[in-house]
Structure 1
């Protein structure tokens, strides 16, 4: 599971994606199975901009490339609303 940082704006994108990539690689190295669920948890997210949506979509893409299932949980209501506004809320559904 990847816990999103409290702040996720453009400045944190690179570090957050690196952390997800490392989490994904560790899961693969542990041999947790091809269908293992990789979850991103947004419960600690307090300050964000639209970059947070880009991070979530890229995390989903990276998981799919590795053949992993992906889910998002506990996103702040305002980020869910932003996803709806941009029309990407359906893309962030658990797969």
Structure 2
């Protein structure tokens, strides 16, 4: 679902409403791995399918990371995530790497 490797988190599961809660909870403890550098890369290259819940999940992770002093950035966002963010008017809030 989420793999931690080389200072980054890789999401390997679809980011859909059906598994949003599981992804959210799986991601929270992993946000600490960026505490030393103050930055953590969230790699979404392995996400083949997502819906609007992906934005909610990301923003929840971002809030938790900020509380821990970690800047969370997105690498390889799927085009559909960018489109959804633009549709909802939150694209400027996505910290793309």
Partner Cα separation in structure 2 for residue 23 and residue 6 of structure 1: 16
Deviation string 1:15-50 (CA, Å, 9 cap, x unpaired) is: 11122112124x27xxx52x5211211101111110
State the TM-score, normalized to the length of structure 2: 0.81
Match of 2:27 in 1: 20
Match of 2:15 in 1: 8
Which stretches of structure 1, 4 residues or more, deviate above 3 A after TM superposition? Answer: none
SS at match of 1:38: strand
Match of 1:93 in 2: 95
Give structure 1 stretches of 5+ with no counterpart.
Answer: none
Give structure 2 stretches of 5+ with no counterpart.
Answer: 1-7
Match of 1:36 in 2: 38
Partner Cα separation in structure 2 for residue 2 and residue 11 of structure 1: 21
Q: Rg bigger for which structure?
A: 1
SS at match of 2:42: strand
Match of 1:45 in 2: 47
Deviation string 1:48-69 (CA, Å, 9 cap, x unpaired) is: 1100111111111110011111
Higher helix share: 1
